[in-house]
Chains A and B, each alone.
Chain A
Amino acid sequence: MRLSLSSGNVQADDAPPRHSWLSLPGLCCQAAGGDPQEADRVAAAWVLLYTAAHLFDCVQDDDPADPWWQALGPGPAINVASGLLTSAWLVLAELGVHRPVVQQLIQDFQQTVLRMASGQHLDLTDPQPSLQAAWAIAEAKSGAFFALACRSGAQLAGTPQPVADHYAGYGLNLGLIVQIGDDLQDIRAGRSTPPLPVAYCREMALGADDDGAQLYLATKLAQFRARALDSLEAASGDQPAKGQLAKLVCSLVPEFEAIPNYG
């Protein structure tokens, strides 16, 4: 069975639902010449890791609780997050711990968690990060996480490491696009002032809520989209499946690209 984003997973030409991301390991496995169903367990582990990270992040940032743990409080929520994290390792181990590729995947997942935790540490301990530090944090959190999904799928297909690295490059840029899109949504909805636009305004001596930051973020979106497509083009593999991945990254951008007119 081939995975496709061209029908059921995509609601409109330019607005894929965010759960399309969960197809990333399978699509990358397919693009790298493997059977996408092989990647189902990797996708499941990735989702478990995502859910655990989201929960840790919510508690650490003192964000509003999701309804299910509102009454429980942060202690039990952290406990659940620990369980989800451990479940991710168990799901991966069920792929067969004696297979070298599985050992490589488990190590990759664990190294990514360490990188994400380092990014989160900086995020929690530096109240006024420089623009460079703010990008490093975004790369260590969202970027590394999406890179993992794509690299894992490609590795399962048995592709050489340099090719898997191209898929990781695609995922890294996709993750940064997702992060920026989320920041832009927050700014426009007046929900919060995310670190990246704040760092840009500080560095450029603009007011903290200057809407020039939106143009900056939109510019970075275009830059990361181009880099994601370059990574895909450089990766050898199945062209139609690569087309699906390209469609995903291009469909994510337009909804965030509407910016104030500076002409």
Chain B
Amino acid sequence: MTLEQIVRRITTDSAFAAAFRADPEATLRQEGMQLGQGEVRAISAALRQPKSPNAEIPWYESQLDRGKPQAEIPWYEAQLGVRPT
């Protein structure tokens, strides 16, 4: 079972979606599906609104150099807004 197929099942089967929300690993196991831990976490993350952008990344939060003076911004940063091609 691929990540794509499980996402499709979630979007087309509300009972499965509710069960997945409650306990992803148990639901997949019960249905005889297998998915890597990273993929399960990714679906779970997409199924809820994150409380904070920093909530899932404990390692970097303590590293931010808060309180440093504002960096000089190169001229092009101030001038350009960019979009992917």
Query: A residues engaging B (CB < 8 A)?
Result: 1-4, 6-9, 13-14, 17-23, 40, 43-44, 47, 50, 53-54, 56-57, 116, 131, 141-142, 145, 175, 178-179, 182, 200, 203-204, 206, 210-212, 215-216, 218-223, 226, 229, 232-233, 239-240, 242-244, 246-247, 250-251, 253-254, 257-259, 262-263
Interface of A, secondary structure class, is: helix
Please determine whether B74 and A131 come into contact, CB atoms closer than 8 angstroms: no
Given known A204-B8, A210-B11, contact A17–B81 (CB-CB < 8 A): yes
> Which parts of B1-25 form the interface with A (CB within 8 Å)?
3-5, 7-8, 10-12, 14, 17-18, 21
Give chain A residues whose Cβ lies under 8 Å from the Cβ of B71: 1-4, 7-9
Minimum CB distance partner of B72 in chain A: A1
Give A182 to B85 CA distance when docked, in angstroms.
10
Given known A19-B81, A57-B85, contact A240–B64 (CB-CB < 8 A): yes
Query: B residues engaging A (CB < 8 A)?
Result: 3-5, 7-8, 10-12, 14, 17-18, 21, 38-39, 41-43, 45-47, 49-50, 52-54, 57, 59-66, 68-74, 76-78, 80-85
Of B10, B43, B47, most buried by chain A (CB within 10 Å of CB) is B47
Please determine whether A247 and B85 come into contact, CB atoms closer than 8 angstroms: no
Give chain B residues whose Cβ lies under 8 Å from the Cβ of A7: 68-71
- In the complex, which of the residues A14, A47, A226 contacts B42, with contact meaning CB atoms closer than 8 Å? A226
A22 nearest CB across to chain B (Å): 5
Of B50, B65, B81, most buried by chain A (CB within 10 Å of CB) is B65
Given known A145-B85, A243-B63, contact A262–B11 (CB-CB < 8 A): yes
Please determine whether A242 and B64 come into contact, CB atoms closer than 8 angstroms: no
Please determine whether A263 and B47 come into contact, CB atoms closer than 8 angstroms: yes
Give A123 to B80 CA distance when docked, in angstroms.
26
B4 nearest CB across to chain A (Å): 6
Minimum CB distance partner of B8 in chain A: A204
Give A7 to B70 CA distance when docked, in angstroms.
6
Minimum CB distance partner of A1 in chain B: B72
- In the complex, which of the residues B4, B63, B77 contacts A23, with contact meaning CB atoms closer than 8 Å? B77
- In the complex, which of the residues B21, B62, B68, B82 contacts A21, with contact meaning CB atoms closer than 8 Å? B82
Minimum CB distance partner of B80 in chain A: A19
Minimum CB distance partner of B59 in chain A: A233
Please determine whether B70 and A246 come into contact, CB atoms closer than 8 angstroms: no
Please determine whether A246 and B76 come into contact, CB atoms closer than 8 angstroms: no
